[in-house]
Amino acid sequence: MVVSSSLLIVALTAWVIFMLLNPLSGTYLNQLRNLAEHWQIFRLSFIVALTIAPVFLYFMISLHQLFLPFVSITKITGYTISVFYAVAATASYGAQLTLVPYYLNQNKFFMAELWYFFNPDSLAYFINQTGYALWAVAVILLFWSLVKREGIERWLGVLFLLSAIISLAAYTSLLAGVKTLDLLTLISGVLTLPIAMLSLILAIKRLKGMVSPGVQGDKVIKLDQVEGTDQNFESPLEQKDIASQSLGQETNSEDVAIEEPLDTDALNNKTVITKKRKFMVLLVIVMVFAGVIGGFIGVVSYMNPIPEEVELLEVYNPQQQELSLNTPVTMTTFNIGYGGLDKDRDFFMDGGVESRSESLERTQENSREMISFLQTLQPEIMLLQEVDIRSSRSFDVNQLKMFREAFPHHASVHGWNYKALWVPVPVFNPMGYADSGITTFSVYAMDNPLRHQLPGSEAWPRQLFDLDRCMIETRIPVKNGKSLALVNLHLSAYDKGGKVREHQIDFIKQYLLDQTVEGNYVIVGGDWNHLLYPEQMDDPAFMANWPDWLMPLPQDFLPENYQWAVDPDVYTVRDNATPYRVGESFATVIDGFIVSNNVEVHQIEGHDLGFTYSDHNPVSLIFSLK
């Protein structure tokens, strides 16, 4: 016990010291980029961290054997859960020494960020927190009875339970996405240090014989005063019985007189045993339920595709035509809402209850009507979002196929941004499986089509069921030897506080700056999920109804040599908290374009379709290249 307590104190203290020495700061992406300069401290930190879980496991077993050496189902269950804790925590820490440097060497910052321990949205952080939630359950099982004792033992029990409860609260807050409670993890960890110190003090006292191992209270006979007894007994009744036999006491009338309290004690013991059995049954049920959820998350994690930072896409039905200078071209962006978010539907993420289209027939009808509108408009270039291939929410209607067949003279490039094995929410009407993305259509040639994974992601495991946001970049050749860098994007919508979108906006800004250096023509369009008409913020009624999913753009976002092409007169999106109600539903402008200064804007026009077939209205840009 002295050895295990000392090792734990050393490991925890060393970990705290290395955390204080950690010089990394800034965004998680910047920390990863600067990690090479501080790799020695980072590596030493997690070499120390790797020792914590095994040492803690050794400490817990040693402590439990000292106080409660008897075998029980609770003990076996607690030990088993402790092993799972050690595996999870060690895997999380070990990833910092293996996966993080591997992905950094491959310049795969998205994957490195996914496994970076100090990113609270990372998989490594979630695994670590899951491990400590298991640790908390094991602690409650193994050490709750210490609270009933006296002195140091009681304080150990109190500290153990307090740390465990706080750890479970921290894990619950992580699952609920309440990041303000992240501090609970630190508090729970800090409490383990006095636990180790008290255990060391108690172990030293016992070595000096200052505390008798059999003492449970005044009512329990000290076994070291009874000859021929060298056994440990949990029950005070058993101790009294052995003591009486050893002292040669004979049964008499007085003994009969005290049998009633003994029977009462036995009855109390049976009641305790019954309660323990009920507790164990409940614990088994909880563990089975947790196992089912854990198994589901494990399968989804295994099947979840990991996007590349940059992926070369395929051009379907390639065309050869090049863009000419000073020739007007029409481009339309349209989020088609998977053919299911028509005027009569709401959406659970906006505060509604629905997660799917009304029916197969309604999905097909909405898709056909949007195709018909675009065929009438005849744009040379189309940027489409939320195009389903095979999804439960759209009743497996292959909208990509429908649009390709409807526009046989257009080339097309499709980039996936939503592949989910099964989205389990809402619980009673789950969204189900999903295969969806964004698609660019063009009558012109599209060279070197690339799918760029946008940075930032939701906390794990929510990210398993969320979109992998991306943008599609294509290069349309121009007859003067240059090219038009055309980008189709769909940014995040439900990241709390817009934290993910901050990374995405920074990425796009850097992309625009890079294109300026290359001297290309540039058009970036699509669903920005940001307010593109800031003048609305002067309207008190608008501000009073501002939904959580809408974010303003940073004032310094737009670089020099670029301009917005937005129609403020036609709202392009509605809030889906309820079916659409004209004049009542919240609506604003989030769809539009950014163009470089060598692109002339002739006309920008939003098309008011009354949100009849989608929760978005299309927007058309007529432009020419200078």
pLDDT over 70 percentage in the chain? 84
Query: How far from 312 is each of 55, 434, 484, CA to CA, in Å?
Result: 47, 22, 18
Written as six digits, the tokens of 400 are 């990509």
Q: Determine contact, residues 443/464, Cβ cutoff 8 Å.
A: no
Cα–chain center distance at 347: 21
pLDDT in tens, 526-544: 999 999 999 999 999 999 9
Cut 0.75: pTM above it: no
Residues near 572 by beta carbon (within 8 Å), at least 6 away in sequence: 588, 589, 590, 591, 592, 606, 616, 617, 618, 619
Fold of the CATH domain 311-625: Deoxyribonuclease I; Chain A (3.60.10)
Of the ranges 297-301, 369-373, 380-384, which one carries the lowest mean pLDDT score?
Answer: 297-301
Whether the predicted pLDDT of 364 surpasses 60: yes
Res 229: pLDDT: 41
Domain boundaries, the chain: 2-210, 228-291, 311-625
In the block, residue with structure tokens 């094991």: 138
Res 510: pLDDT: 95
pLDDT over 90 percentage in the chain? 47
Whether the predicted pLDDT of 224 surpasses 50: no
183-207 vs 2-21: helix axis angle to the nearest 10?
Answer: 150
Written as six digits, the tokens of 443 are 């009558």
Whether the predicted pLDDT of 6 surpasses 90: no
| Cα within 13 Å of Cα(387), Cβ side | 28
Res 422: pLDDT: 87
- Structure-model confidence comparison of residues 53 and 227, the more confident one: 53
- Structure-model confidence comparison of residues 232 and 470, the more confident one: 470
Res 157: pLDDT: 87
User: DSSP code of 209?
Assistant: T
Cis status of the peptide bond prior to 461, with omega within 30 of 0: yes
Scanning 34-98, the segments in alpha helix (DSSP H) are 39-67, 73-97
How much is the mean pLDDT over the chain?
A: 85
| Nearest alpha-carbon partner for 113 in 30, 177, 47 | 30
Whether the predicted pLDDT of 616 surpasses 70: yes
Map residue 562 onto helix, strand or coil: strand
pLDDT in tens, 73-89: 888 888 889 899 999 99
pLDDT in tens, 397-429: 999 999 999 999 999 999 999 999 889 889 888
CA distance 395 to 388: 10
CA distance 563 to 522: 11
Backbone angles phi, psi at 342, to 5 degrees: -75, -175
Res 43: pLDDT: 82
pLDDT in tens, 447-459: 999 999 999 887 7
Cα–chain center distance at 591: 27
Residues near 286 by beta carbon (within 8 Å), at least 6 away in sequence: none
